[in-house]
Structure 1
């Protein structure tokens, strides 16, 4: 009876893994072939027109993608060390596999559950919090550079911003801090967690881990934003570095405010990017091509790579402390 039950669990585990991989690959394919903002053939045409496919350009773009994920894995290795000693190899499996599971879930919720599967049940609460902490560190860095970028654009350019747009952007930027204040003041709980409890958990994590997490988040942010900047240069965008990188920073902060599935990240980011880069007179087709190229490099390829680790997952060997 136990053998039958064990085989049933193994079969269900295999079915679930195949489902996750199939769903991830389908969502990536759907994103590439059904984008309402730009046809995939137009995208390929733009890449060919600007000779983005040269060996040197591809090598630089892939290197930046590898570095981006290298520091993301280092960040998770650092955070998970609070629970157990974790090798870079194990952190790689956990990061990429969980990312594949997260690509079709709202606000990357699947990432939390997938990472838990690599740890004993007693450590799940800590793993969920540590993953949340890593995401919040990345969001903090995005806000820090993003606000600086927005302020530079507003003070440097004579922007024709209607009052509604100005109020909308201001509201979006202030809303996370307002929500935090309201949750703390009225002791609102989020899935059983109060703000005070989150703060206590944060202070329980060693300060060395906290600072390293913030450092790796900052390095990673500068890598993928400058990859975006490099793509703009490949498409012959002739704008000064301060203005262009400020527009990139502004795009990322505006896109990060709206929770969405990763599969729709390019759609949200594309909308904001077209609006922001429109002030710099950058053609829409170029902006959308850059956004889609960045999405493929930093989301599509890692999700496909993570599929391998999802299929290779074995609870009895990976879930031990």
Structure 2
């Protein structure tokens, strides 16, 4: 009877892993081939036109993608060290597998549950908080550089911005801080969690881990934004560095405001990027091509690699802290 039950569990586990991987691969392929603003043929034609596939360009783009994920994995290795010590390889397995599981879930919710599977049940609550902390560090870096980019663009360009747009964007930018203040002021709980409890959990994490997490998040942010900048150079966009990088920073902060699934990340960024770079007279087709290229490099390819770790996952007895 136990043998039958064990085999049934194995089959169920295999079916779930195949389902997750199939869904992830399907979503990635769907995104690449079904963009209404630019079909796959147009995308490939413009990549060949600007020699994106030259050896030098491929090496630089792949190196930037590698270091982007290197710091993401290092960030998780650092955070999870407060639960147990683990190798970079183990942190890579957990990061990529959970990323694949999160591709088709809103706001990367699936990432939280997937990472928990690698730890003892008694540590799940802490793992969820640590993952949340890592995402908040990334969001902080996005806001820090993004607000600087927006201010630079506004002060450098004579922009005909309607008052309603200014109010709307300003409201969206300050909304997280406003929500934070309201929840703390009125002691509002979200699924049993209060702001005070989150703050206590934050300060219970060693200070060196908190600072290293923020440093790795900032390094990662600067890498993938400069990957975007490098592609602008490849596509022969002749605008000064300060304006271009400010536009990139602005694109990422505006896109971060809207919660979405990873699969629609390029769509959201593409919309904001077309609007912002339109102020610099950069052609729409160029921007859409860059956004999709960055998405493939930093989301699609890691998602495919993560599929391997999802399929290799075995439910073992986790090592406790």
The CA deviation string for residues 202-234 of structure 1, in whole angstroms up to 9 with x for no partner, is 000000000000000010000000000001110
Structure 2: how far apart are the matches of 1:190 and 1:74? 30
Shift of 1:194: 1.0
Structure 1: how far apart are the matches of 2:220 and 2:248? 14
1:29 aligns with 2:65: no
Shift of 1:11: 1.1
Tell me the equivalent position of 2:166: 166
The CA deviation string for residues 176-215 of structure 1, in whole angstroms up to 9 with x for no partner, is 1111111112222222211111000000000000000000
Shift of 1:320: 2.7
Shift of 1:10: 1.3
Shift of 1:43: 0.8
Tell me the equivalent position of 1:125: 125
Tell me the equivalent position of 1:14: 14
The CA deviation string for residues 126-179 of structure 1, in whole angstroms up to 9 with x for no partner, is 000000000000000000000000000000100111112111111110111111
The CA deviation string for residues 291-310 of structure 1, in whole angstroms up to 9 with x for no partner, is 00000000000000000000
Tell me the equivalent position of 1:315: 315
Tell me the equivalent position of 2:188: 188
Tell me the equivalent position of 1:139: 139
SS in structure 2 of the partner of residue 316 of structure 1: coil
Structure 2: how far apart are the matches of 1:62 and 1:261? 24
State the 4+ residue runs in structure 1 displaced beyond 3 angstroms.
none
The CA deviation string for residues 250-298 of structure 1, in whole angstroms up to 9 with x for no partner, is 0000000100000000000000000110110000000000000000000
Tell me the equivalent position of 2:91: 91
Alignment of 1:1-321 (within 5 A): 1-316=1-316, 319-321=318-320
Alignment length (residue pairs): 320
TM-score of the aligned structures, taking structure 1 as reference length: 0.98
Structure 1: how far apart are the matches of 2:20 and 2:180? 33
Structure 2: how far apart are the matches of 1:216 and 1:41? 37
Structure 2: how far apart are the matches of 1:69 and 1:237? 27
SS in structure 1 of the partner of residue 106 of structure 2: coil
Structure 2 unmatched runs, 5+: none
SS in structure 1 of the partner of residue 97 of structure 2: helix
Structure 2: how far apart are the matches of 1:243 and 1:30? 33
TM-score of the aligned structures, taking structure 2 as reference length: 0.98
The RMSD of aligned alpha carbons is 0.8
Shift of 1:5: 1.6
Shift of 1:37: 2.2
Structure 1: how far apart are the matches of 2:98 and 2:311? 12
Structure 2: how far apart are the matches of 1:2 and 1:191? 38
SS in structure 2 of the partner of residue 315 of structure 1: coil
